[in-house]
Amino acid sequence: MKITHNKVGQNLNLVDGVKTDAMKKIKSDASPLTKNIGADNLGESSRIDVSPRAQEAKRIKELATAAPDVDMAKVEKFRQLIDQGKYKVDAKAVADKMVDDHLEMES
């Protein structure tokens, strides 16, 4: 991709093909939380520090995706009940629970 400054027409794409390959290799080898790009490969170094809050968010996401969210046996049980017309929803109970949850959140 070539980036050009509109006013001057100056080429801002300063990375050549050799350096691009070196950057890809370094990025794939770097840890996900802190990446150091070696001065030998690029002529300069960069460092990215991720905040503790971002690290915690990443950890939570990993924990959430590690556990299965869907109990397939339960899904199949309810699918069969719905197909047979035996699953009945108590609309009043659902509405009461929604109101209770909403009031609890406001407190």
* DSSP state at residue 7: T
- For the chain, the structural domain boundaries read 17-66, 72-106
Q: Could you read off the pLDDT of 50-88 as tens digits, one per residue?
A: 899 999 999 988 887 777 778 889 999 999 999 999 999
The half-sphere exposure of 50 on its side-chain side, counting CA atoms within 13 A, is: 13
Cβ contacts of 104 within 8 Å, gap of 6 or more: none
To the nearest whole percent, how much of the chain has pLDDT over 90? 36
Q: Can you tell me which residue has the tokens 């909403």?
A: 102
Between 37 and 96, whose confidence is greater?
96
Between 27 and 55, whose confidence is greater?
55
What is the length of the chain?
107
Does the pTM of the predicted model rise above 0.85? no
- Dist. CA 51–CA 102, nearest whole Å: 33
